[in-house]
Structure 1
């Protein structure tokens, strides 16, 4: 199996909203983005699979060593071998790959976040950095596009956090900042026990408003001359925004106990309208 085939299988095994955006990429860009996403899956799977900190930390450290080898042009893992041809082509930064690993290590270290500042750092490492690397692969002429990619990444990760509130709670994880729980008179047990609580609706709406702010900021920052180049990311942004609206409109019990998603038809509709210049982000 070639490194490229390995990455393709890795990305195919997980349901991703990247898929529709791939339709608008050249073959080389598809290969680069597939390798990038396969890397993200590799390090994210470590956090999901490891039950103790030491094991997870050891495996993440092994990836730090592999990133060193990658940028010394001596990669060993199929994913890093697939990434190698694209580093110089798209000016992909070593620091960004290490930031992604740091984000995954935060998942090993932190099961709680005291405030939004802490959470935003996690969102930056887990999603904005991926967005910055993706933006380089998509292509841009105006550096303000990187500011767009940063804010869109925060928005996407906040959407994931809201959508997965119940699933994360079943794993003992609460990404909602503790000071925000206090603000809405909620306890950790209210989240972890999945109890009916009307205050949860207000909390989710507040989180949704925060995500909306980042979606809107991203769109304001995207230069017009780079809109077509960034189409794959825009499609994903609009799909996640539609998902956010659906999640926020849920009843509290559904938010904690039912996984919310968009139908394939809805995703295709969003992708098609985005292609023709419509933004779902309001």
Structure 2
């Protein structure tokens, strides 16, 4: 791809990251230039999917749309980007040898939001959090890198990254209980609500605020 167009692609990804996740953006500025750009490209890709499911046009979202997005992801990994933002991720994939599996799992988590709005227990919620956030940890480890002199195993580092992503998602869920309820979604496990004498209707009515 033309270097100037590629630079513009990363610039647009940077703008998305700085607008939607200022904390992550500021943290990225501590990295090397190449790693910065990779994080921006990954975040921009994830944000676009999230906006499809939770943004203003989410009511028009369908499983088939996400299926097409997954096909588009395969094109990105095959070096055939659809648009300028995809081009940034294609370049990132080639620079850091990322695995498509975690990207597909993230899409699977977004699919869950199109058909699932209740979680019976923490095990169900944990799986959802892994798909939509734990996968981010897996994707970004190759970008961050593992020091050659590290005494910690790669497996432990990946597990920590997954747990960090899941913890962030659980924090978001607790923060956005009211906002999610307006969309008809309740991520709080139903068995735990029952333990505290609350029902789904109580959450929808915002009882206990």
Task: Name the TM-score class by shorter chain.
Answer: 0.7 to 0.9
Query: For each residue in 1:133-162, what CA deviation from the matched residue of structure 2 results, as whole angstroms up to 9, or x when unmatched?
Result: 112211114402101101111111111111
Q: Within the alignment, does 1:14 sit opposite 2:26 as a pair?
A: no
**Runs of 5+ consecutive residues of structure 2 not aligned to the other structure:** 148-152
What's the TM-score, normalizing by structure 1?
0.66
The residue correspondences of 1:21-60 to structure 2 (distance < 5 A) are 21-48=27-54, 49-52=57-60, 55-60=61-66
State how far apart, in whole Å, the 1-side matches of 2:182 and 2:106 are: 24
Query: For each residue in 1:232-257, what CA deviation from the matched residue of structure 2 results, as whole angstroms up to 9, or x when unmatched?
Result: xxxxxxxxxxxxxxxxxxxxx2xxxx
Q: Within the alignment, does 1:152 sit opposite 2:164 as a pair?
A: yes
Determine the structure 2 residue equivalent to 1:103.
109
Are the counterparts in 2 of residues 6 and 79 from structure 1 also a CA contact under 8 Å? yes
The residue correspondences of 1:167-206 to structure 2 (distance < 5 A) are 167-195=179-207, 197=208
Q: Secondary structure in 2 aligned to 1:85?
A: helix
Report deviation, 1:42: 0.6
Q: Which of 157, 178, 185 matches 1:166? A: 178
**Runs of 5+ consecutive residues of structure 1 not aligned to the other structure:** 198-252, 254-282
Determine the structure 2 residue equivalent to 1:226.
none
Are the counterparts in 2 of residues 112 and 178 from structure 1 also a CA contact under 8 Å? yes
Farther-moved stretch of structure 1 (34-43 vs 6-15): 6-15
Are the counterparts in 2 of residues 100 and 125 from structure 1 also a CA contact under 8 Å? yes
State how far apart, in whole Å, the 1-side matches of 2:162 and 2:80 are: 30
Q: Which runs of 4+ in 1 moved over 3 A?
A: none
Report deviation, 1:25: 0.5
Q: Secondary structure in 2 aligned to 1:17?
A: helix
Q: State the number of aligned residues.
A: 195
Higher RCO, 1 vs 2 (CA within 8 Å, ≥6 residues apart):
1
Determine the structure 1 residue equivalent to 2:76.
70
